[in-house]
Structure 1
Amino acid sequence: MALINTEIKPFKASAFKNGEFIEVSNKDIEGKWAVFFFYPADFTFVCPTELADLADHYEELKSRGVEVFSVSTDTHFTHKAWHETSDTIGKISYAMIGDPTGEITRNFDVMREDQGLANRGTFVVDPDGVIQVMEITAEGVGRDAKELVRKIKAAQYVRDNPGQVCPAAWKEGEDTLAPSLDLVGKI
């Protein structure tokens, strides 16, 4: 799982977004920030809570120039059915990618080969298509979109401010660090 600072692999897939089926590919994120949010399966338990939490932060992410793609090994048809039958999932307006062949899931190294399902994996991709943040959690551990937003803000700050780094629990507007020999042993 050494994907940090690597470029994502090309992909093309069908997705469900805003009542329509669309085609998405790596070309759609060129020059943009993106989140790929992998989850095991539609019509489950922890997954809808995570996807809804992410939906609650989608407008803020869009305002920061970040596009969101949820991904599971279900089809885009299944995503549509879930969207239409669940009030929780019905509020999602980001693209829900169907990956029934598992190609994208394998490209991000989150496939459970014995089950044909994705692990809970979150990847933040910069405008150059390079993975800057990744998080993998166990089956029963849901993710927090508020923390994801914080990490994206830090990644964007670091990209926009070469020579600066964000310390633990950094929040937008707080002090950052400029790594140097003078800081060694002083923090």
Structure 2
Amino acid sequence: MKNQVLSLGSVFPDFKKTAVVSIEKGKEFYELSSEELKNSGKWLVMFWWPKDFTFVCPTEIAEFNKHHADFTDREAILIGASTDSENVHLAWRKDHADLKDLTFPMLADTSKSLAEELGILEANEKVAYRATFIVDPEGIVRWVSLYDLSVGRNVKEVLRVLDALQTDELCPCNWQKGEATLA
């Protein structure tokens, strides 16, 4: 039986997972929980990639990192995640030049329990699809995007959708922040 992708209007699942937050010795890991995120009163943008030490994934992670301040400016917490372990995340960050200075956590879902609850585990390899969730401050999923394993996503589109959701108004096709919304 296949899991259904967690959809709009659903409550984002509770979790407590280890994340890589630094490559500085003794400060590498942090225990991140959904409760902490809910208590922040901020939006959550969680994006998933299939595997560390691959080719498309670091291009996305680096691009999200370039725009981390844009998410912060929008009162959104940015978290990257995969089913790889925190030790693999750390080794990859140390090994890949574009990942050394990440400014957001890399969540390790080694049990695959969160990916499974989100319904984003690929059936054969049991790795996460390229999924992005935007969750409002009340913990409700407001946007879900899934990409095939071979295709990278568009970070500017994630920001555009976040902007539109935060207006709490009707936004027409191709709407950009600063443009008029629909009356």
Q: Same fold (TM over 0.5)?
A: yes
Moved >2 Å (runs of 4+): none
The residue type equivalent to 1:101 in the other structure is: S
Where structure 2 has 5 or more consecutive residues not aligned to the other structure, the ranges are none
Q: CA deviation digits over 1:119-167, x for unaligned, max 9?
A: 0000001000011111001111101111111111111111xxxxx2111
The reply to whether residue 132 of structure 1 matches residue 142 of structure 2 is: yes
The Cα of 1:18 is off from its aligned counterpart by: 2.5
Which structure 1 residue ranges, 5 or more long, are not aligned? 159-163, 179-187
Aligned-residue RMSD, C-alpha: 1.1
1:66 has 2:76 as partner:
yes
SS at structure 1 position matched to 2:102:
coil
In the alignment, is residue 25 of structure 1 matched against residue 33 of structure 2?
A: yes
Q: Following TM superposition, by how much is the alpha carbon of 1:29 offset from its aligned partner in structure 2, in angstroms?
A: 1.3
Pairing 1:130-169 to 2, within 5 Å after superposition: 130-158=140-168, 164-169=169-174
* Structure-1 residue corresponding to 2:98: 88
Instruction: Look up the SS of the partner of 2:107 in the other structure.
Output: strand
Larger Rg: 1
Q: Check whether the contact 1:72–1:97 (CA below 8 A) recurs between aligned residues.
A: yes
Asked whether the equivalents of residues 52 and 91 of structure 1 are also in contact (C-alpha less than 8 Å), the reply is no
* Structure 2 residue 7 is matched with structure 1 residue 3: yes
Matches within 5 A, 1:88-127: 88-127=98-137
1:177 pairs, out of 174, 179, 182, with: 182
Q: What TM-score, normalized by structure 1, do the two folds share? A: 0.89
How many angstroms does 1:116 deviate by?
1.9
Distance 1:95 1:87 in 2: 17
**In structure 1, how many angstroms separate the alpha carbons of the residues matched to 2:95 and 2:130?**
23
Percent of pairs with identical residues: 33
SS of the aligned residue for 1:118 comes to: coil
- Cα–Cα, structure 1 residues 27 and 176, in superposed 2: closer, same or farther, change >3 Å? same
The question of whether the paired residues in 2 share the 8 Å contact of 1:8 and 1:107 is answered with: no
Aligned residues: 173
Report the secondary structure of 1:117's partner residue.
coil
Would the aligned equivalents of 2:133 and 2:142 in 1 still touch at CA under 8 Å? yes
Pairs within 5 Å for 1:37-52: 37-52=47-62
The question of whether the paired residues in 2 share the 8 Å contact of 1:18 and 1:94 is answered with no
Residues 97 and 2 from structure 1, CA distance in 2 versus in 1: closer, same or farther, beyond 3 angstroms? Answer: closer
TM-score of the superposition, structure 2-length normalised? Answer: 0.91
